[in-house]
Structures are given as C-alpha cells and as structure tokens.
Chains A and B, each alone.
Chain A
Amino acid sequence: MKIVAVNLEGNGTFAQDVPALAETIKASGAELVLLPGTSRAKRSAAAAAMRAGAEIDTNVVDLEVVDGKPVARRWVYRQRIFTAFSRAARPWVIVTDPSLFGEICAKVGAETVPFAAATGATRTTVNGVENAGTGGESTIKPDAKLLFVAGAGWTKKQADGALHFEEAAETITGFLGRSGASLGSSKSLVDMPEAAAAFKFMSHMNQVGQTGSTPRHAKGLSTCCHGEEPHVVGWRFVNDRRAVNLDANCGWAQGKADVVYVADAFAVMKKVNELLG
C-alpha cells in the first residue's frame, strides 16, 4: 500500500491551496495521503480531497494498517466518544492531529512528498499574522508543560464584597510569567464584556472546552472554574489535573480532577506567585 505524507505548513489561501493540494493527491498515486491538521490543511484539505475524488477524515489520532487494511481512530462529539473506522474508497486523505503527525507517519511508513504551492488567481491577500488579544505577548503557549485555566470566579465579588479585576489580572499574568504556563479560559469568562476590558491578555482563543480548544499539556491547573462537562471535554488530553475551588462539591470533585483544593484561588495563586519568585 502506498502511503504518502504531505507536510502542509505556513500560510496559504483556499483558492490557491485547493487546486495545488488536489493535484498533489492525484499525482502521488497513493492510496493513503496523510496531512497534519494545521490551520492551512484544515482550511483546504476537504475541498482538495473532493476535487481529487478522494475521501477524507480529519482529527485522526491513530492509524494502523493490519493485513493491508487501514483503521483510523478519532473522537466524535467533542472528545466524548472514541471511534475506530475504515474506508474502502481510495485515495483516502487522513488529516491527523498536528502533534501526532510525525508519530503516525513513522508508524505506517509514509513517504514524504513535497507540496508545491500554486500561484493561481485569488481574490484574497494574506496581510500577515497578529497575536490574539491586545495585551502584548501571547498567553497561548502550545509547548508549555502546564495549562492554567481561569474561570469566571476571577470576576466575582470577593470576601470584601467588591470586584477585583486588576488584582485578578495581575495575579494571573504574574503566574503565567513565573511558571511559563499557557492560559486557558472557561467560556463564561471570555464571553463576559467586563472581563474583556480587564483581561486584555485573554481572548476567545484561550477558551478551552466544548466550543474551545482541546490542548495537550502534561498538567492542568484550574482556578475559579466549576468543572462543568462542556468545559472539561477540553481537558481530555490533559492527564495530570488539579483544581482550586471554593466549592467542595464542584464538577472537578466528581471524578474529573486528580486533586481539588477547597480554597480561595485569589489567595492561593498570590502565594504561589510569591513562592515562584
């Protein structure tokens, strides 16, 4: 079985990438074509596969070929149900999770073929890249060991009956700076207009969960977040989980985190910052 890998990285436009990728798929003569799930591939691979007369599946996390039959594995319903499946049709384009692309290619012995970007007509001009949020340095660090998730509790009235947005922002950014953690957020926090004004280092891009991302950090620390299911589906691939919450019966305590500290996250994280120096 001929299996090829096409490494589609960088930036491109749909109008130019679709015909170029369709041509690459056809010209490869491969039965399986593997692509990493980069933003560029996710934009254009489906239409390219359609144009090349190929089938396509995305977000594949494992692939094995047993007796000449490829079986792919992926999640459906946002990391809730794990599936294994195959297709008889060829060519079959398989877009893998980007972090697993190299591993999967090596496992099935894929041969790398180059992708030649096209320069055909398009009405789109790529102007450049900018960080999400307006707070300067990006708070999203895919390579960080730790995911620090801030929930809406950071914007609630504290023991003195007052709101402490600035203090919260300072504590969160202080921790991110000292620990090198990547910042995640619950939907309720990024949706909050007051939070948008106070937490300029945070945007919808930080959101983790049902309508957010599903990052792959080794450890995750949740603060001021109640661990509801739509949020926790974003933690599927975070293996070592801890949470700080004032509610001993929060969602995290229901078998979702390894350790739940029942405490005020404001006080705990300030102390953590002190200890981290």
Chain B
Amino acid sequence: MSKPLNIVVCGSLVPDPLQTLEPVQTPQGPGLKNEQMLPSVLDPWAACALYEAAALAKMRPGSKVTLVALGPKAKLQQLMMTVAQKVPLELSAVNAPAGGFTDAKDTAAELAKAIKALPAAPDFVFGGCSSASRDAGVTLQFVAEALGITEFFNAVDELKVADDDSFTVKERIEGGQYLVSTCTGLPAAIGWATGSLPEPPNNPQTGMMNMRGVMPALMKAPVANVGAGGIAWEKAEVPASKRDTVVKKDMSVEDIAKEIVEWIKA
C-alpha cells in the first residue's frame, strides 16, 4: 500500500503579468517603480507546481503539501488570500525581498533553511522550472544541492508516481520533445513547466481551512537578508519596443492571403 507523501512546493510572488514594469534605481540596486504597490500573483510556474502537488497529494491519502514562500510578508499575506483558496496547503513563509534583481543563491539558501526546519523531510521538493521575475531557472537546483537531493528533473510536464514510490517523469528538452526517465525512489526535486492541470477554481471552504494555519505562519515568518548577492548591476532598462502598427481593415480575404504568402516567401 502506498504511503502518504510529504510534498514541499517552493514558490513566491511576481508582479501581475498585466502590469507595466519600469526599473528604477534604489539604494539596494535596481528595483521596480512602485514595487510595493504592484499587484502580485503566485509565480505562474510555481503555481503549476502547486496544483500538481495538490493533485498528487489527493491520490495519496494523508499526504501533505507545504508551500515554502519567500517574499515581503505583507505582500505574501495579500497573495495567500487567493492562493489559499485553490488547494489544501500549509505555509512556511520567509520575510525577505523577492524579485528579478535579488540573488538566486541567497534565496535558495533561505528556502533550504526553511525546508530543513519543517517537521519532516520532504519526499518531493516541487517548484517552477523558472520564475517570471529573475527567470534564471537555478533556485530549485541550489535547493536540491543544499538538501542533498541527488535526483532532480527540470521543466517537467508529467509525473507518475507508483505505489512503491518509483516514478516516471517527462522533461521538456530541445525540439519540442520530452526526455522520459524513471527513478527508483524518493526524495527527488521537480522543476515543473506548465504540467497539464488547469487552475483550480477558488474554494472559500478550502481558503478558510488554510488560513487558520497561514496567518500564524506569516506572523512567525523569519526575516532574511536576501539582496543582490555578488552581482554588480550596471544597467536595467526597458528597451523601446513600440512598433508603428499598420492596421489593414478593408482588404479582401484573397488580397490578405496573397500578401501573407508573398511575405512568407520573401
């Protein structure tokens, strides 16, 4: 009979992708204009990891999903109002800056510390294969290395775990292909791509259950000093990218098709 799984998901907040981002210089290095005011969402890849974790936990009764999130406490609290309604979870929070200009190694060290402080060692450490902020795709590898996890899979779209805890994964590789691997046991770390699950609808009951643990977790979130690390930023800019779009409204289908074919062949 299969045993319950202890699944840790590393994930944090990123600015809502619909927001305009403008870099500004701060005493700590580059940052975003009005960063504190920008609405945040759970990082999209981390969100996929969380939904996959919840689906896996559901298949193994007694399993637990712990979201380990590093970010400014106030913004995490705001974020959890939504995220906590999605899937049953526990939260372990670290109060520290999160964003595109902070060092991944510092972030990973704090995440690893938080995971080590959990009551039980994880069977799976999940996370996104990259983030929509730093977009470096290295944090989870650092975490795995710090935790001594030797089996790591990146850009995963499918994970099938057997009753004996062996599992099969499909990792995205070059040319629109998957690398299919099997692993004989746990623990393992998985950097998720999008997976295949849709975003779960908000469930206020799940939210109320989760928030009982989320609020105390946020209250006792340790403060961590995460900064630019050894990076010396020289420049951060938004390149001018606005095009002079030509809108062609009154052309016939034939003429449009001809123009497209000529353009393709040019």
A binds B: yes
Give residues in A with beta carbon < 8 Å to B.
11, 13-15, 18, 38-40, 42-47, 50-51, 55-59, 71, 75-78, 80-89, 98, 122-133, 138-142, 146, 179, 190-191, 193, 203-207, 210-212, 219, 221, 228-230, 233, 236, 240-242, 244, 248, 252-264, 267-269, 271-272, 274-276
User: Which residues of chain B are within 8 angstroms of A264 by Cβ–Cβ distance?
Assistant: 253
- Interface positions, chain B 89-126, Cβ under 8 Å from A, are 100-101, 104-105
> Of A77, A127, A141, A193, which is within 8 A of B181 by CB?
A127
CB atoms of B182 and A59 under 8 A apart: no
| Chain A CB within 8 A of B183 CB | yes
User: Which residues of chain A are within 8 angstroms of B137 by Cβ–Cβ distance?
Assistant: 42, 46, 58-59
CB atoms of A241 and B243 under 8 A apart: yes
Which residue on A lies nearest to B100, using beta carbons?
A76
User: Which residues of chain B are within 8 angstroms of A205 by Cβ–Cβ distance?
Assistant: 157, 172, 176
CB atoms of A128 and B180 under 8 A apart: yes
Give residues in B with beta carbon < 8 Å to A.
14-15, 17-18, 21, 23, 30, 44-45, 48, 100-101, 104-105, 132-138, 141-142, 144-146, 150-155, 157, 168, 170-185, 193-196, 198, 230-239, 241-249, 251, 253-254, 256-261, 263-264
At the interface, is chain A mostly helix, strand, loop or mixed? mixed
CB atoms of A11 and B173 under 8 A apart: yes
CB atoms of B248 and A262 under 8 A apart: yes
CB atoms of B100 and A85 under 8 A apart: no
At the interface, is chain B mostly helix, strand, loop or mixed? mixed
Give the distance in Å from the alpha carbon of A260 to the alpha carbon of B152 in the complex: 44
User: Which residues of chain B are within 8 angstroms of A206 by Cβ–Cβ distance?
Assistant: 176
CB atoms of B172 and A267 under 8 A apart: no
Which residue on A lies nearest to B184, using beta carbons?
A123
CB atoms of B253 and A46 under 8 A apart: no
> Of A15, A132, A191, which is within 8 A of B151 by CB?
A15
CB atoms of B135 and A130 under 8 A apart: no
Q: A122-B151, A138-B176, A262-B248 are in contact. List 6 more A-B contacts (CB 8 A).
A: A126-B181, A139-B176, A191-B198, A205-B172, A205-B176, A272-B261
User: Which residues of chain A are within 8 angstroms of B253 by Cβ–Cβ distance?
Assistant: 263-264, 267-268, 271
Which residue on A lies nearest to B244, using beta carbons?
A255
CB of A271 to closest CB in B, whole Å:
4
A14-B152, A78-B132, A262-B247 known; A83-B18 Cβ under 8 A: no
Which residue on A lies nearest to B249, using beta carbons?
A262
CB atoms of B141 and A13 under 8 A apart: no
CB of B186 to closest CB in A, whole Å:
9
CB atoms of A123 and B260 under 8 A apart: no
CB atoms of A46 and B142 under 8 A apart: yes
CB atoms of B30 and A83 under 8 A apart: yes
Q: List 12 A-B contacts (CB under 8 A).
A: A14-B144, A42-B155, A45-B141, A46-B104, A47-B144, A82-B237, A88-B230, A130-B180, A132-B178, A211-B45, A257-B245, A267-B253
> Of A76, A87, A128, which is within 8 A of B133 by CB?
A76
Which has the most chain A C-beta neighbours within 10 Å: B105, B144, B146, B243? B243
Give the distance in Å from the alpha carbon of A241 to the alpha carbon of B139 in the complex: 34
CB atoms of B260 and A89 under 8 A apart: no
CB atoms of A42 and B154 under 8 A apart: yes
User: Which residues of chain B are within 8 angstroms of A122 by Cβ–Cβ distance?
Assistant: 150-151
User: Which residues of chain A are within 8 angstroms of B15 by Cβ–Cβ distance?
Assistant: 77
CB of B44 to closest CB in A, whole Å:
4
CB of B226 to closest CB in A, whole Å:
15
A127-B182, A248-B249 known; A14-B233 Cβ under 8 A: no
CB atoms of A258 and B245 under 8 A apart: yes
User: Which residues of chain B are within 8 angstroms of A82 by Cβ–Cβ distance?
Assistant: 235-239
A39-B179, A56-B138, A125-B181 known; A81-B257 Cβ under 8 A: no
User: Which residues of chain B are within 8 angstroms of A42 by Cβ–Cβ distance?
Assistant: 137, 154-155
User: Which residues of chain B are within 8 angstroms of A45 by Cβ–Cβ distance?
Assistant: 138, 141
CB of A276 to closest CB in B, whole Å:
6
CB atoms of B132 and A210 under 8 A apart: yes
CB atoms of B177 and A46 under 8 A apart: no
CB of A254 to closest CB in B, whole Å:
7
CB atoms of A253 and B100 under 8 A apart: no
CB atoms of B242 and A255 under 8 A apart: yes
Give the distance in Å from the alpha carbon of A240 to the alpha carbon of B264 in the complex: 10
CB atoms of A81 and B21 under 8 A apart: yes
Which has the most chain B C-beta neighbours within 10 Å: A84, A85, A138, A191? A85
CB atoms of B245 and A58 under 8 A apart: no
Which residue on B lies nearest to A182, using beta carbons?
B176
A81-B236, A242-B260 known; A131-B176 Cβ under 8 A: yes
User: Which residues of chain A are within 8 angstroms of B105 by Cβ–Cβ distance?
Assistant: 50, 55
5 A-B pairs with the lowest CB-CB distances in the bound complex, closest first? A140-B176, A76-B100, A271-B257, A46-B138, A46-B141
User: Which residues of chain A are within 8 angstroms of B14 by Cβ–Cβ distance?
Assistant: 77
Give the distance in Å from the alpha carbon of A57 to the alpha carbon of B135 in the complex: 10
